[in-house]
Amino acid sequence: MKSALELAMEKTAQKEGAKPTEKQKREIEEIRSIAKAKAAEEEIMAQGQIASADPAKAKELKELSAARIRKIMADAEAKIEKARQSR
């Protein structure tokens, strides 16, 4: 198993390596755009639910929404990394 330092060094080496192709850039931008839209949709839906909930339930809904948004962004980062590695 690699340490966090080894993973960071590899990631830095990749960033300093070959630049992404135009196709990869478009794919990455599309992935980011979709992720931002999904995160915004989640936030809007959660705000509606939070507004009509009691304070205890509102806190729970905020935490749930934040977790969903983190998952959306993590999934997007995984897809971006996959796109960067595809050559």
Dump pLDDT digits (tens) for 50-73: 999 999 999 999 999 999 999 999
Domain count, the chain: 1
Domain presence at residue 56: yes
CB 24 within 8 A of CB 84: yes
Has residue 77 been placed in a domain? yes
Q: Is residue 54 part of a domain?
A: yes
Q: What residue numbers bound the domain in which 31 lies?
A: 21-85
Residue 42 within a domain: yes
Q: Classify residue 12: in a domain, yes or no.
A: no
Distance CA 72, CA 14 (A): 24
Q: Residue holding tokens 């830095």?
A: 12
Each residue's pLDDT tens digit, 7-35: 666 666 665 567 888 999 999 999 999 99
* pTM, full prediction: 0.73
Q: What is the pLDDT of residue 21?
A: 87
Three-class DSSP category at 1 = coil
